[in-house]
Amino acid sequence: MGALAGRRILLIVSGGIAAYKSLELVRLLRFEKAAVSAVLTSGGEKFLSALSLQALTENNVATDLFSLDAESRMGHIELSRAADLLVVAPASADLLAKMAAGLADDLASTVLLATDKPVLVAPAMNVRMWVHPATAANIATLAGRGVHIVGPDEGPMACNEYGPGRLAEPPAILAAITALLSAGPLAGRHALVTSGPTHESIDPVRYIANRSSGRQGHAIAAALAALGARVTLVSGPVALADPPGLSVRRVETAAEMLTACEAALPADIAVCAAAVADWRVAEASGRKLKKEQGRAPPALTLVPNPDILAALAAPGPLRPRLVIGFAAETDDLRDNAEAKRRRKGCDWIIANDVAPGSGIMGGEDNAVLLISEAGVEEWPRLPKAEVARRLASRIASALAP
């Protein structure tokens, strides 16, 4: 409690059924002692009363009507000048389009055009509006200008559809705000971390898995958050608790992991620590396979899984600035890992020896090489949490202005 004491947030609430969640966000922000003022768009007013916002923020709420009549009391320049951060939650497709185009035809868009403060948007809309190329282009434009984006989440929607477009949950928006306003060296950066194994179904009760515990990936996610980054952790099935303050997406298969990673972009940093299954069963059975007397065991046909690291490292507008992979090898560690770094197109590879007897896979410690264009660094055997802290601080130095 009190993590945001003394920080001033201007919350802009635009239209959409998710507007009610902004009240919960205000409650969380007030609990953290942030000062919150709010702008409610005319669309937002259809879903939420200015009075509710006013009661929870304990501040005046600016609406088009009020502010256009009383420009001298609550000018748009003044509104953004008095804030450390502007948060648009929910951000409708329409308001995002206005922001991308630089329109200023109502109070919210005018404030957003007139500000020189950092801006965080939490989009919320129908899935088809979110996947429309116009919205995708607007999001890419805004991300390119340094606007921070949290969510949207995927799930059932008020419009009876399923998919990405749901407003990020208020605790995840709060985590993004805290990261942006924190003083750590990775403040304002978004890091995407994959962790744990994947499970690839054979039938409803059996799956292919591996020995990854997720300890190293989870520790990296926590270490990046401790330096102020906003972290999205995409985790396969693990027996670990979700690290606090992160946005955690739990997945089972490699295909789900790829979808969750792509949905989390843009990011400044991607660390792929997951032990993704290289293959999945070509056609998983929808029913439990039975062993029938006298019949040979089933032959499993495997097909390759998508390579998440290679996909994130591929050149493109959404490629994170720093993409880091892991190489688990039992032979020729250095050469194999360097070859893997080049093949997958990532910037750094953290190589570790997983030969039987090393105790690394699933264990408490790790002994790694950091391989980059600049050469190879050998780190001593360290607890995984310490490897994570070192890596996070190397990442912070690499991204330092």
Contacts of 327 (CB under 8 A, 6+ apart): 333, 336, 337, 340, 341, 349, 350, 351, 352
340-357 burial string, b = 16+ CB within 10 Å, else e? bbeebbbbbbbbbbbeee
106 binds ligand CTP per the rule CB under 6 A: no
Active site residue 159: yes
Least separation in angstroms between CB 393 and ligand CTP = 20
252 binds ligand CTP per the rule CB under 6 A: no
Least separation in angstroms between CB 106 and ligand CTP = 44
The nearer residue to ligand CTP, 130 or 348, going by C-beta atoms, is 348
Under rule CB under 6 A, which residues in 282-311 are in contact with ligand CTP? 305, 307-309
191 binds ligand CTP per the rule CB under 6 A: no
The nearer residue to ligand CTP, 241 or 303, going by C-beta atoms, is 303
Least separation in angstroms between CB 308 and ligand CTP = 3
Query: What sign has the CA pseudo-torsion 19, 24, 26, 32?
Result: negative
325 binds ligand CTP per the rule CB under 6 A: yes
Could you give the C-alpha distances from 57 to 13, 18, 22, 65, 290, in angstroms and in order? 13, 18, 11, 19, 60
Task: Tell me which stretch binds ligand CTP (CB under 6 A): 218-226, 319-327, 374-382, 386-394.
Answer: 319-327
The nearer residue to ligand CTP, 32 or 268, going by C-beta atoms, is 268
| Residue 344, token pair as written in the block | 């997958």
The nearer residue to ligand CTP, 29 or 248, going by C-beta atoms, is 248
Task: Tell me which stretch binds ligand CTP (CB under 6 A): 117-125, 145-153, 323-331, 392-400.
Answer: 323-331
The nearer residue to ligand CTP, 94 or 353, going by C-beta atoms, is 353
Strand blocks (E) in 252-300? 269-272, 279-281
Task: Tell me which stretch binds ligand CTP (CB under 6 A): 199-207, 240-248, 321-329, 378-386.
Answer: 321-329
Query: What sign has the CA pseudo-torsion 55, 56, 61, 65?
Result: negative
Least separation in angstroms between CB 360 and ligand CTP = 12
Contact yes or no for 230/268 (Cβ under 8 A): no
Give the residue ranges of DSSP H helices in 303-371.
308-313, 333-344
The nearer residue to ligand CTP, 307 or 338, going by C-beta atoms, is 307
Bridge partners of residue 201, in order along the sequence: 207
Q: Closest by alpha carbon to 284, among 199, 163, 162?
A: 199
The nearer residue to ligand CTP, 62 or 276, going by C-beta atoms, is 276
Could you give the C-alpha distances from 63 to 43, 50, 122, 202, 289, in angstroms and in order? 10, 8, 20, 56, 61
Q: How many CB atoms lie within 10 A of CB 377?
A: 13
Contact yes or no for 144/321 (Cβ under 8 A): no
Bridge partners of residue 195, in order along the sequence: 235
Least separation in angstroms between CB 331 and ligand CTP = 10
Least separation in angstroms between CB 138 and ligand CTP = 29
Q: Is 284 helix (H, G, I), strand (E, B) or coil?
A: coil
Under rule CB under 6 A, which residues in 335-354 are in contact with ligand CTP? 340
Size of the site for ligand CTP (CB under 6 A): 15
Kindly write down the DSSP assignment for every residue of 207-223, as one continuous string. EE-----SHHHHHHHHH
254 binds ligand CTP per the rule CB under 6 A: yes
Under rule CB under 6 A, which residues in 265-284 are in contact with ligand CTP? 272, 274, 276, 278
Least separation in angstroms between CB 348 and ligand CTP = 10
For the annotated catalytic residues, the residue numbers are: 159
User: Where along the sequence are the contacts to ligand CTP (CB under 6 A)?
Assistant: 194, 254, 272, 274, 276, 278, 305, 307-309, 325-328, 340
